[in-house]
Structures are given as structure tokens and as C-alpha cells.
Copies of this chain bind each other. A is one copy, B any other.
Amino acid sequence: MTPKKTALIVSAHAADFVWRCGGAIALHAELGYNVTVACLSYGERGESAKLWKEGKSLQEVKDIRKAEAEAAAKALGVHDLVEFDLGDYPMDFTRETRFKLVDVMRAVQPSFIMSHSKWDPYNSDHMQTTQIVLECRATAQAWGHNPGEKVLGAPQVYLFEPHQTEQMGWKPDTFLDITSVWDKKRAAMEAMNGQVHLWDFYTRVAQQRANHFKRNSGGMSGGRDCKYAEGFESIFPRTVDEL
């Protein structure tokens, strides 16, 4: 049996999946994964300052952000962009919303899930999202939830890179080489016209993480070259047959 491999990204706002794991999405798409992005909001209230300063209405902001997110998803090779449209800042999760996320988890049956850091004093939407992801993962594993559906296994949950990592207590334990798909990530970032100031910021993040990749893959003695990388923190232990 060789079903397609899949992955699920849960992004609080429209652009988080671009800045924080756009490379992982593009790379795994190229590796043959179907990557689904659950985009919980468009970040219309809290991450669209530029548009509001231009005097756009709420609907206009949402439309623009939606179009940008879809363009970015396309650039990255996202298989399915599931738009929850929950609103942001704050994000209030109803039971219905959470069960919708459970449905997505079960439908996708991901090899791994990605979401935000556990702590983020700058951005409560982010930390609430991670709590909800963990809760929904547990519900998706419950045999008594919608009995008859295929329950979820035990996919790893990777926490992608937050802004100001040290303030979030986020510690990456996995660096992924995204050099081969860098152009796609840059293109996806450039689709986010409302946050131009972040294009170079996250380009530099990728360059710094590439340096860390090299340091940890051999260092001064043959560390493998790498020009762009992304870092992730794992919630759960790995199970392996060789170290």
C-alpha cells in the first residue's frame, strides 16, 4: 500500500504558514506530500496594519489577505488551503470550530502537524492555536468521536519559528534544508504585499538557520553546505530503528 504522504499546517493567521514553514511546505510538496494548510483567519484585524492605514474596509482587507494567502499557497504547492475565517485578535474557538479542525485532521491523516510556539506574550492568538491543536489531536485520536471514521495516529507536532524566538521559550531541535525550494518560499513571501518589511527579515532568518544547519551537520570539519534552512521544535519523542 502506497498512499500519498500528507502533512497538515495549522496557521493562526493568513501569513504565518508562509514566513514560518513555507520552505517545509514547498519541500514536502516536491517530495510528493499532499500538504494541507488550515488557515484559521486572514489576520485581517491584527496583521494588516498597512491596509488599514490605507483606509480599507474590513471586507476589503479580508479579500486582499485572502487573495494573498491563496497566491502564496499556490506558489508553495499547497494541496489544500482550508480557510476557517474565524476572525483574529482575539480568536475565540467554539466547540464547532474545534470539531471542524478535528475533521480536517482525520481527513488529512497527516504524517506530521505544524503549529505555533507554546508561549507567546506578544500574540495570544498564537499560543491559543497551539493549545487547540493539541486538544483536537487528542479528540481526533478518540475512537468514540464520530465512530466509524478512521482515527488519527500519533503524528509529530512541530512548532515552527515564532518571531523573537528567545522570548517565546522556543528551542529548535530540527533544522530542515530548504535551499532547493528557496525560490518558491521567496515568491510566496512576495505574495504578501501587506507585510513587505518581513520579506528580508525572513530571508535572513533562513540564512541564519542555514548556518546553524552547517554547524550541526559537521561544523568546521565537513559540515554540509546549506544556504537556506528552517528550524522546528518537536513536541513528541521520535521513534527510530537507528540513531
A24 to chain B, nearest CB (A): 6
A141 at the interface (CB under 8 A from B): yes
Given contacts A145-B45, A207-B204, whether A172 and B237 have CB atoms under 8 Å apart is: yes
Q: What does the 1/0 interface line of A108-127 toward B look like (CB < 8 Å)?
A: 00011000000001111100
Selected from B61, B213, B240, the residue in CB contact (under 8 A) with A176 is B240
Q: What does the 1/0 interface line of A163-174 toward B look like (CB < 8 Å)?
A: 111110111111
B48 touches A144 (CB 8 A): yes
Report B-chain residues with C-beta under 8 Å of the C-beta of A231.
Answer: 237
Nearest CB to that of A21 among chain B residues? B243
B49 touches A220 (CB 8 A): yes
A183 at the interface (CB under 8 A from B): no
A98 at the interface (CB under 8 A from B): yes
A165 to chain B, nearest CB (A): 6
Q: What does the 1/0 interface line of A139-183 toward B look like (CB < 8 Å)?
A: 101111101001111101110000111110111111111000000
Report B-chain residues with C-beta under 8 Å of the C-beta of A208.
Answer: 201, 204-205, 208
